[in-house]
Chains A and B, each alone.
Chain A
Amino acid sequence: MIGITSYGAYLPRLRLTRKIIAKAMAWYNPAIFGAAKGEKSVANWDEDALTMAVAASYDCMTDRQKKAIDAVYLASTSLPFADRLNADILATALNVDEEGVTCSDFTGCTKSATTAAITAYDVISAGRKENVLVAASDLRKTKMGTNFEMFLGDGAAAVLFGRDNVIAEITGSYSMNCDFIDHYKGHDKTIDYTWEERWVRDEGYGKIIPQAITEYLKESKENIADFAKVIYPCYFGATHRIIGKKLGVDPEKVQGNMHEVCGDTGSAHPFLMLFAALEASSPGDKLLLVGFGQGCDVLSFKVTENIRQFNGPQGLKGALASKVEMDNYLKFAKFRDLIVSDLGIRGEVNNNTSLTTLYRNRKRILGLVGLRCTKCGTPQYTFTPTCVNPACRAVGEMEEYEFASRDAKVLMYTGDMLAPSMDPPAIYGIIDFEGGGRLLADFTDCTLDDVRVGLPMNMSFRRRYKDDMRGFSGYFWKAVPATYEKGV
């Protein structure tokens, strides 16, 4: 049996109520009032598609599952690097083995996640791979006062495919491709270019999704009524309902498009909707999943008994519950670099990134893999091979020690108004890890009032800097207050 063996999600904690966008921008484009319901998830200024994919992947896997991975696929239309394997940065952040693991980016359209899932299914079926992680994530920049700004949210999802303890068996897949351009992003552009909504709605979503599902059912000899949930993305609310109606699906069996709670998260969206369906499912239920973008992917699943024991995804549940309302549209616009403000001369420093140093220390920096002295057992985040324990001082007796998933507590901290920051004050301090080791680190996803000595913290992979001159994004780990239980 091949299928989903685990899954995890990540929604950034910030939510922007669409009424706030409408209030700020409807003077410019009154049409956005039509979508001004609910809220969209908004990534913090130090997040991007890659960092969110890392968070979702950590939510998805236990250490044991992580060690068994033999392929990492990353699906997104908004990856930070056009030529540098983003999936490999993800794999390094996860501290997955470098030897024998296939990493690949799936990109180019918003159905990239379902395409990656079908590929995972194919390679496992062929006996070439055992455990394939498919992470999907999007953080799409939109123009101010547009419907896209209203529709889209930021988020990530991760699914582990394999043969052990399958939660939802894959029972079939189907793909159709056509160059239907509802939007595109040309070379060197950062924002999608969109075509007339009526055409996208009626000729795109409204026709292509029903057509692909119909073709799949014809091929698999299944009936739409067999499915407990039919899951397809479509940010046009009315069209989303009409598609179900066209296919003859009972409206209660159409999985909601999550417009109210986070918005359309692009590549991640089919997975997030699938998770919501899985949460409400029972063993034996059949689920039909569709990815849309230059055609359609269709996947069918059958939920197994293992769903009863499955404890995830805490990331989605936790993030949905622990959200923080963003009440300032201009702050959102600044986070997305849509308006020009002044970081001051102090903020202009722009050092080149030493790729030699980064390569040598890739595990230490991207994976937060520290050291533990094998003589005295002291965990330490350091770059010298000499043990930090004054009672030991062994040299070169270190083994790797992962800090990323460990709980920590604040030892000391500050909120700094002098340091150039996108969201002042810059909060940072020293944290002590449970079991030993400490780290000087930026804090994020918190306000100064949230922090105190002794506050429980978790680690989060974040973008530390963006070198716009050279197009490089630098990553490290930051500490965030532990707001909800970690995943599986």
Chain B
Amino acid sequence: MATGIRDKVAIIGMGCSKFGERWDVGSEELMVESFGECIQDAGIDPNEIEAAWFGSCLDEVNVGKSALPASIALRLNNIAVTRTENYCASGTEAFRGAVYAVASGAYDIALAIGVEKLKDIGYGGLPEFGSGMGITNGFWFPNMTAPGCFAMLASGYANKYGIDMGELKKGLAHVSAKSHANGALNPKAHLQKAVTEEAILNAPMVAYPLGLFDCCGVSDGSACAIVATPEIAKRLGKKDYVTVKALQLSLSNGEEMSFTDWDGSHFPTTSKASSIAYKEAGIKNPREEISMMEVHDCFSITELVTMEDLHISERGMAIKDVMDGFYDLDGKVPCQVDGGLKCFGHPIGASGIRMLYEMYLQLHGRAGKRQLKDPKFGLTHNLGGFPFMNICSVAIIGRHDV
């Protein structure tokens, strides 16, 4: 009988590069930057790492295929390295691989590292989707982009709850303004400037109804984690070490796209992955027990709807919670504490691990101006793909003693 991942694996070190338009460096330097911080934090020799998982998504324009780019950039000791790619969950997948490897007893110490170098393609936004969608899909998928697909969700959500698009836009503006305020407190964030809700509402349209500030930053960056057995964490003298409480993944099976039950207003995958994750972590009432979150705010509407699918806001009530400041830095469940994808940036393969990095810093009381008071559980969430066809990952980490 499976018992879940709770407290079986400790995070003994983490690192994260500065995110942003890193014109001066490539994926190699980005990985070395995050790994350097991570190995120092862990206090081990790189040769003690027994296996590694490497997350990168858009290999066509990034590092290329296989896990070799990570093995070579870090000059790993001819150990097992596996590349993970699962859209925007690629980083969390690398973490999941390393955590499961340690939990299985196959290894004592494992590395998860993610990187994405997106600003070498010559145009804004994510790389054109056309060449990576699969040959058969290429014959019939629309001429679509990420902002367009998530913008569709806004039309479905507004229609389901009978909300005027103007009202929804105001809620979305608060979502983005809150993340900008948080990002302004983070020296590693891509975007560190506070933006008013008025400016957000008046921004040019990218994909109706999403404007420029409803979209997250497209950035270069890397993040990594070293995980080990709790025994090793203790042996290394890490008193207040952090453990993994839950790691769940849920993938669409095509029902949203091809079956008429889905109403286009939410993410069934997130709803399922979070329910199982809470159970795995022993959390009964997430609205009360989750201390903080980093969710996949690729677009403001994604974050808003996700609040409901994570079972923290009730269905149809996310706008009210958002406007009440429930998710602000001084709110009940602060969300996007580090600025989120919105402002910290979104180098896809690194994003899941970067979210864990902020939760890790907060749990250790090392989050500087953003530090929250006595957090216990931190939740991270990725949503890869599109509202109608996606991969959702949910991770919960916390102090080992809660």
Which residues of chain A have a CB within 8 Å of any CB of chain B?
A: 344-346, 349, 351, 354, 357-358, 361, 365, 378, 380-384, 388-390, 411-421, 425-426, 428-430, 432, 436-438, 440-442, 448, 453-454, 464, 474, 476
Contact = CB atoms under 8 A, between A and B. Distances in A.
B121 interface: yes
B131 interface: yes
15 contacts: A345-B123, A346-B123, A388-B253, A411-B156, A411-B263, A412-B159, A414-B151, A415-B205, A416-B144, A417-B205, A418-B148, A419-B144, A419-B148, A429-B152, A432-B260
Interface stretch (B40-48, B135-143, B320-328): B135-143
A358 B148 contact: no
Contact of B131 (A351, A411, A436): A351
Contact of B155 (A414, A420, A432): A414
A194 B402 CA distance: 85
B125 interface: yes
Interface string B236-280: 000000000000000001110111100110000000000000000
B131 A416 contact: no
Interface in B190-208: 204-208
Given A412-B264, A437-B260, A418 B125 contact: yes
A305 B148 CA distance: 53
A225 B110 CA distance: 95
Given A345-B123, A428-B148, A438-B257, 6 more contacts: A345-B122, A349-B131, A416-B144, A416-B208, A421-B143, A448-B208
A415 B122 CA distance: 24
A324 B272 CA distance: 47
Contacts of B206: 416-418
Nearest to B389: A440
A388 B254 contact: yes
Which of the four size classes fits the interface of chain B? 35 or more
Given A411-B264, A442-B143, A476-B139, A430 B257 contact: yes
A291 to B, nearest CB: 36
B152 A413 contact: yes
Interface pairs A-B: 3 shortest CB-CB: A416-B148, A414-B151, A428-B142
A378 B255 CA distance: 12
B130 interface: yes
B153 A412 contact: yes
A156 B98 CA distance: 61
Given A412-B153, A428-B142, A474-B139, A438 B259 contact: yes
Contacts of A425: 205, 207-208
A445 B93 CA distance: 42
A413 B157 CA distance: 11
Contacts of A358: 139
A414 B260 contact: no
A440 B151 contact: no
B128 interface: yes
Nearest to A380: B258
A306 B310 CA distance: 64
Contact of B144 (A357, A390, A428, A437): A428
B250 to A, nearest CB: 14
B259 A380 contact: yes
B62 interface: no
A460 to B, nearest CB: 14
Given A437-B258, A440-B257, A420 B152 contact: no
B252 to A, nearest CB: 11
A413 B155 contact: yes
Nearest to A390: B255
